[in-house]
Amino acid sequence: MRGELECNSASGTRQSSSITRRQENSGLQSGMRKLLPTALGIVSVLLPTVQMTHIFVYGTLKKGQPNYYKMLDVTNGKAEFLCHARTVEKYPLVIAGEYNIPFLLNVPGKGQRVQGEIYSVDDQMLKFLDWFESCPQMYQRTRILLEMEHGVGVGTPKVGSTTEAFVYSTTTYESEWLQKLTFDNYDAYGDHGLRYVTREARN
């Protein structure tokens, strides 16, 4: 009888200990669930989401052009190439001024469908580009509808689909620029003979 009591007592102790451990584990899991949102909140504060903006470049900032290196300079910010694209509407892309600068005149319906590249840029690069393009005095940053041609990476829009991006076009142009030869794809080294003068080479 005494042995049975001792066995029952030991069994009860083991059951009680098991229940206690389950309660402790349950409490620990509950605490972890409560702490997880707080931890994620701390991470989101320490590592805030980077705001990225899509920019369409059609001139000297394109690959292989005189100012492309500025898109690669991390001190200016971050710029990630997404895809090649073409404007849905026609626009006059002309080369004008003393330094043979490419200008996209904000006159939809005239000129040609213009080819260029779409980049995803962070706020720092966007501020740099606003400065570099003398926005809003010489160029104005406006939205434009584009047709995808080909691109890279996961999540790049399909060929033939359309998307919006910002572009540096201008309404502050001289009236005679509307009579100039228009281009569908700017190349500073093309056979037009209008050599682009970099900022560093200007007087």
- Which of the residues 6, 80, 117, 133 is marked catalytic? 133
SS3 124: helix
Q: Which amino acid is at 110?
A: K
Is the omega angle on the peptide bond into residue 102 within 30 degrees of 0, that is, cis?
no
At a CB cut-off of 8 Å and minimum separation 6, what does 118 contact?
Answer: 54, 55, 56, 81, 82, 83, 84, 85, 146, 151, 163, 165
Classify residue 157 as exposed, middle or buried by CB count within 10 Å of its CB (0-12, 13-18, 19+).
Answer: middle
Annotation says 4 is catalytic: no
Measured in degrees and rounded to the nearest 5, phi and psi for residue 134 equal 50, 50
Beta bridge partners of 53: 121
> Where in the sequence numbering do the catalytic residues fall?
133
